[in-house]
Amino acid sequence: YGARRIEITCQIEDAVATFEIGDQGPGFVPVKGCDNAASGRGLTLIDALSLSYRLLDGGRRISMRLALS
């Protein structure tokens, strides 16, 4: 896994930061109602802290919007 590239971008506009994080892993599809690491436990935290988020490219990228104020 050490040779895989991770890409992180951030755009700030109107007191909202939009982060996009992606990697070269296989991705995943979260299972609703399942609270374990393989099904995206971190998504529960992202959902609670962000204004919104989207999974992209089969779960290899995530885009999330966070309020700065």
Query: What is the per-residue pLDDT across 11-31, written as a single tens digit (0 to 9) for each?
Result: 999 999 999 999 988 887 777
Residue 35, pLDDT > 70, answer no
19: left (phi over 0), alpha (psi -120 to 50) or beta: beta
State residue 37's pLDDT score: 56
For the entire predicted model, the pTM comes to 0.79
* Strands of 14-68, DSSP E: 16-23, 52-56, 61-67
